[in-house]
Chains A and B, each alone.
Chain A
Amino acid sequence: MTKKSAAAIVAAGAALALGLSACGGGGADTKKTEGGSSGASAAKDVPNAALEAVFNPSDKKGGTLKMAVSEDWDSVDPGDTYYAMSWNLLRIYGRPLVTFKPDAGAKGRELVPDLAESLGTPSDGGKTWTYKLRAGVKFEDGTPITSKDVKYAVLRSMDKDTLVNGPTYFNDWLDLPKDFKSVYKTPDVNTDQAIETPDDQTIVFHLNRAYGGFDYFAALPGTVPVPKAKDTGVKYRDHVVASGPYMFEKVEAGKQYTLVRNPNWDPATDPIRKALPDRYEISLNVNADDLDNRILAGDLHIDLAGSGVQPAALSRVLSDPAIKARTDNPTQARTWYTSIIGDVPPLDNIECRKAVIYGADRVGLQNAYGGEFAGGDIASSLMPPSIGGWKKLDLYPTGTGDVEKAKAALAACGHPDGFETNMSYRADRPKEKATAESLQQALAKVGIKLTLKGYPTSDYYSLYAGKPEFVKKNKIGLATNGWGADWNDGFGFMSQITDSRTIRASGNYNLSVKSPEVDALIDKAYVETDVAKRDALWGEVDQKVMENAFVLPGVYSKAVLVRGAGMTNAAVSGAWDMYDYLNLGVS
C-alpha cells in the first residue's frame, strides 16, 4: 500500500517536471541550456529519488558536510543515547559489531558485519552468539581494538544509573551473574558467564533465553568499542574515542561538534564506509524554521533529526516544483495513535472502545498529524507497514466517521446516549493538540463528550498518561501516543507497547494493551527462530490489538525530507527512515 502511494507521488512529480520543462521550452531558451549544462555535473533532482536507490552517487572526497539539529541530543556517547539520528550518525566515529547496510529503502534494512568479520554464529539453540573481530582495526590513538573493548563497552552501556539514556536489551537478555551491578560499582565481578573473550579477536555472548534475532542487538550502539582506560563515565561524551573514519575535533556541548578524519582508520578493514567529506560540522539548538530555510537556501546539507520540515516551510516546499524535486517522502517505522484505556469505565467494555474507533474522523486525524505528506497515510493498525509480518487490516472504516456503527456499538455497550471521558495529549505538541480537538469534534456527534487535558511532554509518561494510578484517578479514557521502532522487526516495534507484563508503576509506553491472549502470542514470537513464522506471529499480535479495540490508529508516519544542495550519495535507509549518514558526500 505504501509502495503504491509512493509510486503515485513519483508519477505526480514526473508530471510536474514535464510541465516545468514545457514552460521552460516556451519561454527562455538560454535558461534551458543553462539547466542542461548543470544537469550534466549533478543528477537531476526528482522527488523521492533517494527512496529506492542512492541518489547522486559519487566517490569524490573532500569538502565539509554541514549538519544541524533544532535541539540538543541526549548524548554522543554510544552507550548513552536513544535517538535514531544519533544511532545513525555515531557510525561515522564508532564501529558496532554489526550494522545496517548504508543503502536505500528495504536494502538498508539488511544487517552487514562492521567491526565483526561476519554476522553472529548462533549455537546452543540461539542462546550463545559468537563474533570474530576484524584484524588491524585501531582506535584514534593507534591502540588496536580487541574484543575486551567491545565487552567493556557493552557492560558499561548497561549501567542505566550512570548512562541513563539508551535501551536495556542487554540488561534483560544477557545471562549476568547476580552480584554484578555495573562496571563502575562492581568492577571486579567476573562476567564471563554473560560475555566471554577467549582471545583478542573473539567475543561470545551468552543469553538467559534463546533469541533468534541477536544480530539486531549486536547492531546496537552499545557494541561500539570503548577503551576502559579512557572511559570517564558520563563525561565520556566530551571525548568519545573514535574507531570509525572520523574523530571529534571540537566538542561544544549544546552548541557545536566538529569531526575530522581519523588517521588511524584503515579503509582496508572497512568495506562499507566511503568516508568522503574531510570535515563534519554539526550545529545544535538551531531554530527549527531557520534550519529549514538554510537547507532550502543551500547553506546546510542535512537536518539531522530526520523528522521532516516544519509546517511553515512545508507549504513552500510543496508549492515550489524546484524545491519539491529535492524532497523525499518516506513512510517511517512509526505510528501515531490514540490509546483507548480499558481501565477507565465505560471503556472497560469492548463495545464502548469500538464506538470510539467508529466515531473518529480518520481523515481529520490524518490532517491533524499534518496531512498525507507531512503526516502520513491513514493507519489501519498499530504496526507500521515496514515491519515484517504487517498485513493490511480492514476491521474498521477509515473514512470521516461512521455515526451509525458508532451508535450501534454504544447501544451494545449499554450507553446508547454516549458517555463522558477525558483525553490527554502532550500540550507542547501542536499535532497532538489538533488530534485531541479533532476527536472531540467527531465523537461529540455520537454523544461521547471528551474533556481535553494537556500535559507537558517531558513528564507525559512518567507522571501523567504513563502512570496508571494517575490515569485511573483522573479518568483519562483516551491518550495520544506514538511509537517508533528501535529496529524494523516485530520485536523492535511491538515488544514495548503491547506486552502487558511490561507495565510498571509509571513511565509506561504501553497505556492500554492488556490482554493475556496478546501476551501469549508475544511469548511464542520470542522463542520462534524462523523469521517468517516470527513475523507472522507479530502480525497476529497486531490483529488482536485491533480486534480488541485497544488503540485508535492515527497515521503511519511520513516525513518530508529535503536533500541539501550539492549532497551526494543521498539514500533514505529503510533502517532509519531518514538519510543514511554513513556515506554522504559533498560535490
Chain B
Amino acid sequence: MTAPIDPPSATVVEERPQAGPGGTPGTSIQGRSLGQIAWMRLKRDKVAMGGAIVVILLILIAIFAPVLVGWFGHPPNEFHQEMIDPATQTPKGGSGIGWDFLFGVEPLNGRDLFSRVVYGARISLLIAFFATLLSVVIGTVMGIVAGYFGGWVDTLISRVMDVFLAFPLLVFSLALIGVLAQFETSLAVKGDTLRILLLIFVIGFFNWPYIGRIIRGQTLSLREREFVDAARSLGARGPYILFREILPNLIAPILIYATLLIPTNVLFEAALSFLGVGIPAPTATWGGMLSDAVKYYTVPHFMFFPGMAIFITVLAFNLFGDGLRDALDPKSSR
C-alpha cells in the first residue's frame, strides 16, 4: 500500500511481459491499476470466488423471496395443520419433506420451512448489512480522526473505544430491548420495523471500535508517508488530506473488515433472536427458528435447515472476505 488506489493517475506499470495465464503473448504491455491487479488475484482464487457466488445468490434469494416462495412454497406464516399429526404435534411422516414442502414443515402449526428459511434470509442479511455499514462509517471516521490528529483527540477516542470494547454487549442488548417495550407506544415506528432498526443500531453501534482500531493504526502509519507530506507542503488542509489522500488508501482494510464483520453480525442477530429479543413472532428469522427447534430435537429437519442457512451464509462471507484480503494485501500471511 504505497500509493492510493483510487485516482487513475496513480497507475503503476507492471514490469511483467506475461501477466499470468490471462495474458496472451503478443499483446502489448498494458498498465494495470492496483484495483485491476487485485481483481485478477481474486479471480484466480477459486475458493473466494465460490464464496462470492454464494453471497450473491443469498442476496438474490433475499430480494426475490416473495417470487421464490410463490413458485416453490406457501406463505411463510400460513398454517398447515393438515400436515401435522394431531396426537404428537410433529409433522406427519417425520418431516413432511416432499414436492409440496421442499424443506418439510414446522411441528405444531405446519408452516412451510422452505418459505420461512427464505424469508429469514431477508431479516438476517438486512440487519447484518446495515449494522455493518453503521459500524464501518462510525469506525472509519473515528479511526481516521484519532490516527491523523493524534494527541488528546487520539487519547479520548481510544479510551472511548476501550469502553465500548469492554461493554457486555449481549447482556446490554437483552436489557435494552426489554426496557424498550415499556416505551413502545411513544415511538413513531412500531412492530417489526422498530425491532429491525433497534437491532441494527445495537449491533452496529457497539461494534465500531473493532474497525476503528484498525483504521486508526493504518492512519498512524499513512500520515507519515511522503505523499501526505507532499500534499501538506503543497498547502492541503486537514479535511482534504484525510478524505482525498488517506481515505482512498484505507479502502482495502475497510472492505476486508466489512466483509468479515457481516458474518459476525449474522451470528449476533441469530443469537439475539435465539434468546427471544429479536424480531417478534410470527416473522421468520433463522435464530428464532433455531430457538423454536431446540424443543423438538426429535424432529431434526426443523433445526437442520435454518442452521445450515446460517452456516452457509457465515462460511461464504468468511471465505470471500479472506480471499479479498489476500487479493488486496498480498503481504499478509495466510
Chain A positions near chain B (C-beta within 8 angstroms): 289, 310-316, 318-319, 363-364, 367-368, 370-375, 427-428, 430, 433-434, 436-438, 440-441, 451-456, 463-464, 470, 473-475
Given A428-B276, A438-B79, A453-B181: A368 and B109 interface contact (C-beta under 8 Å): yes
B 261-301 to A, binary, CB cutoff 8 A, 1 in contact else 0: 00000000000000010001110000000001001111100
A229 to B39, CA, bound (A): 84
Chain B interface mostly: loop
**B88/A451 in contact, CB under 8 A:** no
Query: What residues of A have a CB within 8 angstroms of the CB of B292 in the complex?
Result: 430
| A373 and chain B: residue at smallest CB distance | B87
Report if B86 contacts A (CB, 8 A). yes
**A318/B276 in contact, CB under 8 A:** no
**B297/A372 in contact, CB under 8 A:** no
Pick from B86, B89, B181, B191: contact of A311, CB below 8 A.
B89
Given A315-B298, A374-B89, A454-B280: A441 and B79 interface contact (C-beta under 8 Å): yes
How far in angstroms is the closest Cβ of chain B from A461? Answer: 15
How far in angstroms is the closest Cβ of chain A from B75? Answer: 10
| B181 and chain A: residue at smallest CB distance | A455
A368 to B181, CA, bound (A): 25
Given A311-B296, A430-B295: A437 and B281 interface contact (C-beta under 8 Å): yes
Query: What residues of B have a CB within 8 angstroms of the CB of A473 in the complex?
Result: 185
Among all A-B residue pairs, the 10 with the closest Cβ atoms: A315-B88, A437-B282, A312-B298, A315-B90, A371-B89, A427-B276, A311-B295, A434-B108, A452-B281, A312-B297
Query: What residues of A have a CB within 8 angstroms of the CB of B218 in the complex?
Result: none
Pick from A430, A453, A475: contact of B280, CB below 8 A.
A453
**A314/B108 in contact, CB under 8 A:** no
Query: What residues of B have a CB within 8 angstroms of the CB of A441 in the complex?
Result: 77-79
A-B CB pair tally, cutoff 8 Å: 89
21 contacts between A and B (CB under 8 A): A310-B295, A311-B89, A311-B296, A314-B88, A318-B88, A364-B81, A367-B81, A368-B108, A372-B87, A375-B89, A430-B292, A434-B108, A437-B77, A438-B79, A438-B109, A441-B78, A441-B79, A453-B280, A454-B280, A454-B281, A474-B185
**B78/A456 in contact, CB under 8 A:** no
A364 to B80, CA, bound (A): 10
B 181-200 to A, binary, CB cutoff 8 A, 1 in contact else 0: 11011000011000000000
**A452/B282 in contact, CB under 8 A:** yes
Known interface pairs A430-B295, A475-B185; 7 further A-B residue pairs with C-beta atoms within 8 A, sorted by A's residue number = A364-B109, A368-B109, A370-B89, A372-B86, A430-B108, A440-B77, A451-B190
How far in angstroms is the closest Cβ of chain A from B181? Answer: 7
**B81/A363 in contact, CB under 8 A:** yes
Query: What residues of A have a CB within 8 angstroms of the CB of B297 in the complex?
Result: 289, 312
Which residue, A312, A315, A371, A372, has most C-beta atoms of chain B within 10 A? A315
Chain A interface mostly: helix
| A427 and chain B: residue at smallest CB distance | B276
Query: What residues of A have a CB within 8 angstroms of the CB of B109 in the complex?
Result: 364, 367-368, 434, 437-438
Query: What residues of A have a CB within 8 angstroms of the CB of B84 in the complex?
Result: 367
Query: What residues of B have a CB within 8 angstroms of the CB of A314 in the complex?
Result: 88-90
How far in angstroms is the closest Cβ of chain A from B225? Answer: 54
| A450 and chain B: residue at smallest CB distance | B282
Pick from B86, B185, B298: contact of A371, CB below 8 A.
B86
Query: What residues of B have a CB within 8 angstroms of the CB of A312 in the complex?
Result: 295-298
How far in angstroms is the closest Cβ of chain B from A431? Answer: 8
How far in angstroms is the closest Cβ of chain A from B63? Answer: 26
A314 to B281, CA, bound (A): 24
| B90 and chain A: residue at smallest CB distance | A315
Which residue, A318, A434, A474, has most C-beta atoms of chain B within 10 A? A434
A90 to B182, CA, bound (A): 39
Given A364-B81, A371-B88, A428-B276: A311 and B107 interface contact (C-beta under 8 Å): yes
Report if B178 contacts A (CB, 8 A). yes
How far in angstroms is the closest Cβ of chain B from A329? Answer: 11
A438 to B299, CA, bound (A): 21
How far in angstroms is the closest Cβ of chain B from A444? Answer: 9
Query: What residues of B have a CB within 8 angstroms of the CB of A455 in the complex?
Result: 181
How far in angstroms is the closest Cβ of chain A from B266? Answer: 22
Query: What residues of A have a CB within 8 angstroms of the CB of B87 in the complex?
Result: 318, 371-373
How far in angstroms is the closest Cβ of chain B from A324? Answer: 10
A440 to B276, CA, bound (A): 19
How far in angstroms is the closest Cβ of chain A from B177? Answer: 11
A475 to B178, CA, bound (A): 18
